[in-house]
Chains A and B, each alone.
Chain A
Amino acid sequence: MNISEREQNGIIIFTLDGRVDSEGAVDLDLALQTAVSEGKHKLVLEMAQVRYINSAGLRTLADILTQVRASQGDLKLVNLHPRVQRVFQIIGFDRFFSTYPTVEEAVASFS
């Protein structure tokens, strides 16, 4: 999976491209854990190009969410594909994660 990241007002915005399957989850975990270990706790994931996610991917997201919230941060998701959205609903994750239609709105929600 391709992951690019940029920083805006202390918020790290990750753009994901590819499948968040068991392999993709490893890449994602590495990218997010690196940010968290550097003390970045305000994270935004741009997910328009993610068409597949499985339990390994969800576990990674939930794990990071728990960590950043413990440090008064948050992990916000942007632009979920309808199929990915459905997976979140099935597992009941939609109630834990805040989702936004655009990166700007997600970033603004931190202030």
Chain B
Amino acid sequence: MTFLGELRVQARQENLRLISHFVHGIGQRLSLSERALFDLELAVEEAATNIIHHAYPGEDKGQMLLTAHEVGDFVQITLTDWGVPLDPSRVRPFDINAPLEVRIKGGMGLHFIHSLMDAVERTTGPGQGQPNTLKLVKLIERASPGQSAMTPAQELSAMRTVSEVMTSNIKLDDLLRLILNKLVTTINAERGTIYLVDEERGELWARVLLENGEPVPEIRLKIGEGIAGHVAATGQILNIADAYADPRFNPQFDQLSGFRTRSILTAPMINPQQKVIGVVQLLNKKDGPFTFRDERLLTAMAAQAAISIENARLYQQEIQQQLLNRELETAHSIQASFLPDRIPSHAGWDFGAFWCPIRSVAGDFYDFYPLGPGRLGVVIADVSGKGIPAALFMALSVTVLRYGMSLDLPPDQVLRQANEMIISEQRSRMFATTFVGYLSLRSGELRYACGGHNPALWYHAAEGTVDYVTAQGVAVGIFKGADFDLARLRLQPGDVFVLYTDGITEVLNQDEEEFGEERLEKLIQQHHALPAQALAERILEAVNTFAGAQELFDDATLVVIKRTGESAGAEAPPS
């Protein structure tokens, strides 16, 4: 019994292509006739399809393993899965005389398998998770003599297989194994290795090594060192008829593996940009030395392989990116759900806000928290850092701040409690600059506390001036036992109060100039008459125009509070 190869893949529809290529590789290795190869391919594909649909019926697909052996005059392909075992009582015998509608319901695959194979053997595991195997055995019918050496047409077809794989979406490891299998069988060598260039370390590393199909532990070489390293450095193919006579040959691997290297053919894998991305090395041509034709063929196939490998890498990156994007989308909607559902509306008041994460998620947030009749909590905060860590910290901060507000603690105590909770709850040393204000909708009084947040801008309608409003306190989450001042002010009709994060004021333009508070101040003075939301959007627009083509670096959040009129009881004493 001779081992021919194995393939381990996820039991997914899109891997059927890979499985077909694997069977083709085996077929070529055994010089199977077209007909025998067709039968084998169909039976294996049907068996694999059954595993995909029936052994792993849900979305959660497990693995399947295909192993190929030559046993006497037969080729034997065993498919192993770890899913639901086939229940023989549920298999309807396929009735070749049934009407068409009945027939297409199922059992067609099994019928093919049994009709096309010379023997079929099934073992089932005692339960789910145990291996189930299906052994397919087919008499080796070889292609007519003279066809064992590859004709130019076959060479072309081998090339096409490699380039076809190139367009299919498969895992890099599977692809490398497939390519190597193809190269070893096409050129009739005993073994092969694919080395990939690790640019950062100036090294080559063996990604796959076929020793009767079995991968062996990782090998690393310096570029320029040994035969593979030499080829990687020069980009030239190297055909060595007697390895032990070549000073570049390192016999260490032979000593370790007990393998005796005779001849070596080593070709660079050069991508279309003429960069060497790796090296493919074949050992011991089975009938004599590697020929000039082998050199030509390997050069061409190595170039195809370079493209395939780059595509697979790109594809993997893309998949990872897609997964990440999907997670970020989810994170974005979770995070957005922490923000107030809608902007509050109260007679005599007008509110506006925007929240612009620079990535899908942000460390900024704002909050409107109803404190009871006639009172509203207003929060803006900017968490240190960006992206997911900031977003997680934001979730914690929102929760502790809301908790404090729900107890109706005064704003300074809300910050104090949040500070203590955050310091005791998290060890990641993140912090948030925070402004918390309690607004009396009747009197216009705002009681507030500020933990290191940018000063708010307060437009006084009567004077047409702008004040910078802040209170003593450091960012929340830094110092245990930190104190915060409580301050108060009173908004008059026509006044506008703007809270913002530094994503607004620290935006840079092409000349590396900051947007700054003054520009914001002027905008507010100029547009104070606009409705609150329109003013917020006007500011956002101005910031974007200012940044121009410059990339924005920080999340930007802004809240506008505008007292529009004499609301009921405006002269009432402060609450």
Question: Using a CB–CB distance below 8 Å, which chain A residues touch chain B?
Answer: 21-23, 51-52, 54-56, 58-59, 62-63, 65-66, 83, 87, 90-93, 96
Contacts and interface: CB of A to CB of B under 8 A. Distances in A.
Contacts of B111: 90-91
A1 to B, nearest CB: 12
Contacts of B38: 51-52, 83
Interface stretch (B40-48, B140-148, B390-398): B40-48
18 contacts: A21-B16, A22-B13, A22-B16, A51-B38, A54-B46, A54-B49, A54-B112, A55-B108, A62-B104, A66-B100, A83-B35, A87-B42, A87-B112, A90-B112, A90-B115, A91-B103, A91-B111, A96-B100
B67 interface: no
A90 B114 CA distance: 10
A23 B17 contact: yes
B112 A91 contact: yes
Given A52-B41, A54-B42, A56-B49, A92 B96 contact: yes
Given A62-B103, A65-B100, A83-B38, 13 more contacts: A22-B16, A22-B49, A52-B42, A55-B108, A55-B109, A58-B104, A59-B108, A62-B100, A87-B112, A90-B116, A91-B112, A92-B96, A96-B100
A15 to B, nearest CB: 21
A21 B45 contact: yes
A63 B102 CA distance: 11
Interface in B498-543: none
Contacts of A51: 38
B311 interface: no
Contacts of B108: 55, 58-59, 91
Residue from the set A55, A90, A96 with the largest chain B CB neighbour count within 10 Å:
A55
B345 interface: no
B274 interface: no
Interface string B92-115: 000011001101100011011001
Interface in B108-136: 108-109, 111-112, 115-116
Contacts of B13: 22-23
Contact of A54 (B34, B45, B101, B103): B45
Interface residues of B, number: 24
Contacts of A56: 49
A59 B42 CA distance: 15
A91 B96 CA distance: 6
A32 to B, nearest CB: 14
Of all A-B residue pairs in the complex, the 5 with the closest CB atoms, nearest first, are: A92-B96, A55-B108, A62-B104, A90-B115, A55-B109
A59 B13 CA distance: 16
Contacts of B16: 21-23
A91 B46 CA distance: 13
A52 to B, nearest CB: 7
Nearest to B50: A55
Contacts of A65: 100
Contacts of B116: 90
B544 interface: no
A67 to B, nearest CB: 11
A54 to B, nearest CB: 5
A87 B45 CA distance: 14
A23 B164 CA distance: 14
Nearest to B115: A90
Contacts of A52: 38, 41-42
Contact of A92 (B34, B45, B49, B97): B97
A96 B103 CA distance: 11
B20 A92 contact: no
A31 to B, nearest CB: 18
Interface in B1-60: 13, 16-17, 20, 34-35, 38, 41-42, 45-46, 49
Residue from the set B34, B104, B116 with the largest chain A CB neighbour count within 10 Å:
B104
B219 to A, nearest CB: 36
B315 to A, nearest CB: 16
A87 to B, nearest CB: 7
Interface string B157-179: 00000000000000000000000
